[in-house]
């Protein structure tokens, strides 16, 4: 008698969550498998508001429709004052968030958007199942751009206190796993190679205009880091081992190991 063959469990991984898996698997499990949630932080909500506002600008321009700054400002206002989630505004009040958001939105529209040739904005991709790894890749690609050599690449907007340094350099470290997934998904969706570097559009959410730096950083070949080579496994191979074996260990040294950022903090045995 032949032994029964049981299908391998396939676990979905959102592009934006892969870095979290490597930083603290226990936190990743709590958020992505157990569906535990914390209130969104004020700066996270600010980032979402800016993202929604400038996406309207880029998308309308992409399809050749008129869009005004006032229209984008209204979207920003709505996202801050009528969020569709619980938000902890203790670190940054809504009035200050709106002022910062308006300034950075204008900087993006003025200094970043005109320099880019987008061929896709908020591109929703079909999930890609990697059966041998037991992983299903999912995500919505922020932007797909074309460079001066007619090569396609993916790009993503990142906001935060340290998104761009005072020297104008964009922080790209830590974003490679997410950008790698976006690259793989874009190539699968378009059936074309994505060969240009991944781009990060950084926006520093400082309270003063002087500290609000914006810029563009690049990550060469993020998919290679994700998929690996014949000589070395990629990040997805490591992620597969964590998921297949249920090795959701905690990392008490993580910068996000706090009640504010981790929904499993109060019950986490790895902090003891």
39/230 Cα distance (integer angstroms): 42
Q: Please tell me the predicted confidence (pLDDT) of residue 230.
A: 81
Say if CB 141 and CB 185 are below 8 A apart: yes
Tokens representing 81?
A: 């004052």
Say if CB 113 and CB 105 are below 8 A apart: no
Q: Please tell me the predicted confidence (pLDDT) of residue 272.
A: 74
Buried b (16+ CB within 10 A) or exposed e, 171-210: bbeebbbbbbbbbbbbbebeeeebebbbbbbbbbbbeeee
Buried b (16+ CB within 10 A) or exposed e, 30-61: bbbeeeeebebbbbbbbbbbbbbbbbbbbbbb
Return the number of other C-beta atoms located less than 10 Å from residue 164's C-beta.
25
pLDDT, one tens digit for every residue, the chain (272 residues): 344 444 458 999 999 999 999 999 999 999 999 999 999 999 999 999 999 999 999 999 999 999 999 999 999 999 999 999 999 999 999 999 999 999 999 999 999 999 999 999 999 988 999 999 999 999 999 999 999 999 999 999 999 999 999 999 999 999 999 999 999 999 999 999 999 999 999 999 999 999 999 999 999 999 998 988 888 899 999 999 999 999 999 999 999 999 999 999 999 999 87
Return the number of other C-beta atoms located less than 10 Å from residue 211's C-beta.
13
Rg of the Cα atoms in the chain: 20
63/67 Cα distance (integer angstroms): 11
In 3-state terms, what secondary structure has residue 87?
Answer: strand
In 3-state terms, what secondary structure has residue 78?
Answer: helix
Q: Please tell me the predicted confidence (pLDDT) of residue 8.
A: 59
Q: How, if at all, do strands 118-124 and 140-146 pair?
A: antiparallel
Q: Please tell me the predicted confidence (pLDDT) of residue 228.
A: 86
């Amino acid at each position: 008698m032949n032994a029964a063959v049981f299908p391998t469990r396939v676990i979905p991984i959102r592009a934006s969550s892969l870095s979290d898996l490597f930083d603290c698997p226990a936190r990743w499990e709590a958020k992505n498998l157990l569906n535990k949630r914390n209130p969104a932080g004020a700066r996270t909500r600010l980032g979402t508001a800016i993202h929604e506002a400038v996406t309207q600008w880029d998308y309308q321009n992409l399809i050749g429709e008129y869009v005004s700054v006032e229209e984008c400002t209204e979207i920003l206002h709505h996202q801050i004052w009528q969020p569709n989630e619980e938000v902890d505004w203790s670190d940054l009040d809504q009035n200050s968030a709106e002022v910062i958001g308006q300034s950075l939105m204008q900087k993006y529209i003025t200094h970043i958007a005109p320099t880019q040739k987008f061929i896709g904005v908020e591109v929703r991709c079909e999930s890609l199942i990697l059966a041998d790894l037991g992983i299903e890749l999912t995500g919505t690609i922020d932007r797909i751009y074309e460079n001066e050599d007619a090569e396609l690449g993916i790009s993503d907007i990142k906001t935060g206190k340290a998104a761009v340094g005072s020297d104008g350099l964009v922080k790209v470290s830590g974003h490679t796993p997410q950008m790698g997934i976006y690259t793989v998904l874009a190539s699968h969706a378009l059936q074309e190679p994505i060969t240009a570097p991944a781009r990060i559009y950084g926006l520093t959410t400082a309270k003063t205009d002087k500290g609000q730096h914006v810029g563009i950083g690049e990550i060469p070949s993020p998919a290679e880091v994700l998929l690996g080579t014949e000589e070395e496994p990629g990040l997805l191979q490591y992620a597969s081992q964590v998921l297949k074996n249920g090795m959701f260990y905690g990392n008490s040294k993580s910068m996000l190991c706090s009640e504010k950022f981790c929904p499993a903090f109060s019950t986490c045995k790895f902090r003891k």
